[in-house]
Chain A
């Protein structure tokens, strides 16, 4: 039996820094190659000798090409190499889908936020990572590029398990494309053992509105199963409802009843279940409050223009 030896520095591998995306994809066809984005997850694994590779394809010269926002009526296409820090500024998305900035604020510490990327986190697929939860909720199309082809894969087909994905070794996530309801508000909350650490349990949810009535809703929770999960039937209960204390209570209890969390060294099943309920409650309040704030702002501006008219 061979021994567990934690290293200080990585074992030898090659390094490539292509200037174009095309070059990068060609390089990635080589055996044992890994894309290097921010390196916040990959390099620690290499240092510790948990992962062994033949070479890295550093994306730093490609990064600017993969930092874009394409905003259409019902869709938002986001380049994969935005950093957590960049995504934490809500202005990046022109105020659309503030969930990104809400979630980014919970990631790591300033150094990690400035370096780590959306695509890197999705590729690493740590089930407790904030972006994996957000992706589970929004279920975007991932744009995956290789030297041979570009394909689209819905996130729910992409994530196969904890740190397991349908990404081929030579494929790069270049963008995520999200369908957005016309009018939606969001909630994101988590409890972690220390600020910036992976959550014990985290909740992300979206509420689509038809005036002040809920048109559709989605809820996703991490830390209650091996990968984040959604709650389609509970979410459906919210449709056509008006926000109310009773509704929040109903959803909270339904979620508590629906989850079957694991017990591990970090937290027991009952506490995780309890957190799932509390965090859904808090996230719902965030989404509802955002709606009513928006409503008030709208009402004020209407009032003002009416005032001007008279």
Chain B
């Protein structure tokens, strides 16, 4: 079957079979290698992308089901600058070490920041509880998100 969706502001038209996951199509057909396989259970968060603005685990999302949606990864064009802001703060606080969980994590952070959420550190931790990071101990990640949340309203 054919599915059509926007991926990072480009139209993607893919011939797929019903069983193919969004993760498989993004990686194997569209070459979006920033979307990572980490567990296949939707549990680790490394494969998260934004589907119509909502963070979804692409490894447990069937590609056929995202027909007609607008999908974004960390490589999305970024005129308002929310991705750039997050990337900058993550780099400045070293919110990534091995970096494998980072693109998925940033997708969830992007949704939080764009909603204009202003969360406490504990609320940020809860909001990110669907992402596992094994390197940073989370502290620097929370630093980065907290700062991005504070800065974003002044940019948008």
Q: Chain A residues in contact with chain B, CB under 8 A? A: 7-17, 36, 39-40, 43-44, 46-48, 55-56, 58, 60, 108-112, 114-115, 195-196
Contact code string B56-87 (vs A, CB < 8 Å = 1, else 0):
11011110110100000000000000000000
Our pick among B40, B56, B65 for the contact of A60 (Cβ within 8 Å) is B65
Per the bound structure, the CA–CA distance linking A13 and B129 in Å amounts to 32
Per the bound structure, the CA–CA distance linking A109 and B108 in Å amounts to 12
B92 on interface, CB distance cutoff 8 Å = no
Q: In the complex, which of the residues B17, B42, B65 has the most CB atoms of chain A within 10 Å of its own CB atom?
A: B42
Per the bound structure, the CA–CA distance linking A9 and B45 in Å amounts to 16
B62 CB to closest chain A CB, in angstroms?
6
B46 on interface, CB distance cutoff 8 Å = no
Complex contacts, A195 vs chain B, CB 8 Å: 129
**Can you name the residue of chain B whose Cβ is closest to the Cβ of A38?**
B60
Interface pair A56/B57, CB less than 8 Å apart: no
Complex contacts, A8 vs chain B, CB 8 Å: 37, 40
Interface pair B19/A10, CB less than 8 Å apart: yes
CB-contacts of B3-41 with A (<8 A): 17-21, 23-24, 37, 40-41
Complex contacts, A110 vs chain B, CB 8 Å: 55, 108, 126-127, 129-130
Interface pair B1/A15, CB less than 8 Å apart: yes
Interface pair A43/B129, CB less than 8 Å apart: no
Name 25 A/B residue pairs within 8 A (Cβ), A-sorted: A8-B40, A9-B21, A10-B20, A12-B17, A13-B19, A15-B64, A17-B67, A40-B60, A43-B21, A43-B42, A43-B61, A44-B43, A44-B60, A46-B19, A47-B21, A55-B18, A56-B18, A109-B129, A110-B55, A110-B130, A111-B48, A111-B55, A111-B108, A112-B42, A112-B130
B54 on interface, CB distance cutoff 8 Å = yes
Interface pair B61/A39, CB less than 8 Å apart: yes
Complex contacts, B19 vs chain A, CB 8 Å: 9-15, 46
Interface pair B65/A17, CB less than 8 Å apart: yes
**Can you name the residue of chain B whose Cβ is closest to the Cβ of A11?**
B19
Complex contacts, A13 vs chain B, CB 8 Å: 18-19
Complex contacts, B108 vs chain A, CB 8 Å: 110-111
A55 CB to closest chain B CB, in angstroms?
6
A23 CB to closest chain B CB, in angstroms?
16
Complex contacts, B59 vs chain A, CB 8 Å: 43, 47
A131 CB to closest chain B CB, in angstroms?
18
Complex contacts, B62 vs chain A, CB 8 Å: 15, 36, 39, 43, 56, 58
